[in-house]
Amino acid sequence: TFAGSRFSTSDFDTYIRLQLVSTMMACSRMLPLVAFVGLAILAESANFLKSGLVSENDVKTSLDAELAAGSADSARLAALEDALRKTYAALPKNAAGNLGHQAVRYVLHRLFVQRNGWFIRGLEPNNETWHDVSQPHALNEWVPSYLQGLLEQRMGERGTNLQELVALAASLEDLIDKEAIGRLETAYEIHQFKRASTLSRDEVLEVVSTYYVNFLLAGNFAADSRSDAIQKTNRFANRYTGWDEASQWLHKTLAPHLKPESDDVDKTFDFAAVSRMVEDIGEKYYNFNDVECRDLKHVLGNMEGFKAGRVRLSQFYKKALYSHWRFTEKADYLRTLGALDESDPQSPQVIVSNYIMARPNCLESSNLYAICCRNECEDLMGHLESQVGNSMADPQQIAELVAALPSDT
């Protein structure tokens, strides 16, 4: 995500020419590092843009399976139920003792943000900057609403109980895994492996590296052969200032999967084993992203002026001259993001929290979710919910809990 801001304008243009595509999306400062349309080229090469796309039938099948799962998947469902229970308990219930439509969406949003840093498309905060119909990924914002609609059609107007909420969450996880597996199949195709193939450690690293670069490029990667994929990956690595850190994180994430058992130095890996690796990338990348988010917060915090949470626009632009952060957004764009304070027309200021949380700073790594900086207010609300444990509380208790809230600031 934020490492994308280390990709200079000249590097950006150079990389796009190397990819042989003609259209670049304006306004993108951070990851996705490139957002482009190159349909003629992509039609000739194996590409990830349509890999693992979710259909209505996929959604129905997933929900049916999770509602019927019961004890068949008890450990996974129990873990989800534990993760959902506190927020579920803290929300108001309807006359039937269940959650209403909007409350269900809120709980699911909170779950995936807290667990994986995933902002599920269609469940994001109600902010117009989060819904850009010019983005091809917006096509999958229908998934959560369609999934929830299917459940509500079956259950009527009584609302959603905890077990059904677990089924919804598990279904979303299933669909995200399906997409990851579909993109892995594309990486196999590029490297000329069949799904039934068993791969060596080096072959796994090649395939997963291709998958990972595509992950960082928001699906905008295409190659027509193994050598083409390796060449483009190397070019990307050479031009991406944050690649060393990103690569180290990848190898650290893969290490438990690749570690030989006893003296089995020639260990091989089937498709299921490699699938678990790429699922780990999606589920854990937010940890690496949080490091970048905190760095950005620290940089902007040190520039804060007399008004709390604000940075003078002139200082904001000046910082880009001697920092790896490329603060180049024009005032009109910052205004559109809701990140420009113009209460004093003579001294406009960037609103730090809104800027950090703006959608263009997210990694659009999936058609189903984006990875963004954590909303620390949601973390604080989660703390309150766990402490109160109910939808009602005494004002004095709330005041005491708020006064003792843990926070970086």
Tokens of 96: 């039937």
Q: Cα(26)–Cα(78) distance, rounded to whole angstroms? A: 44
Q: Cα(176)–Cα(281) distance, rounded to whole angstroms? A: 12
Q: Which of 324, 367, 112, 358 is nearest to 214 (CA)?
A: 367
- Could you tell me if 320 and 327 are in contact, meaning their C-beta atoms sit under 8 angstroms apart? yes
pLDDT tens track, the chain, 409 positions: 443 344 333 343 333 333 322 222 333 333 334 333 332 334 456 778 778 889 999 999 999 999 987 555 678 899 999 999 999 999 999 999 999 999 999 999 999 998 999 999 988 755 433 434 344 444 468 899 999 999 999 988 899 999 999 999 999 999 999 999 999 999 999 999 999 999 999 999 999 999 999 999 988 889 999 999 999 999 999 988 789 999 999 999 999 999 876 666 678 999 999 999 999 999 999 999 998 899 999 999 999 988 889 999 999 999 888 877 888 899 999 999 999 999 999 999 999 999 998 888 889 899 999 999 888 887 788 888 888 888 888 899 889 888 888 776 6
SS3 77: helix
Q: What is the pTM of this model?
A: 0.81
- Could you tell me if 137 and 179 are in contact, meaning their C-beta atoms sit under 8 angstroms apart? no
SS3 299: helix
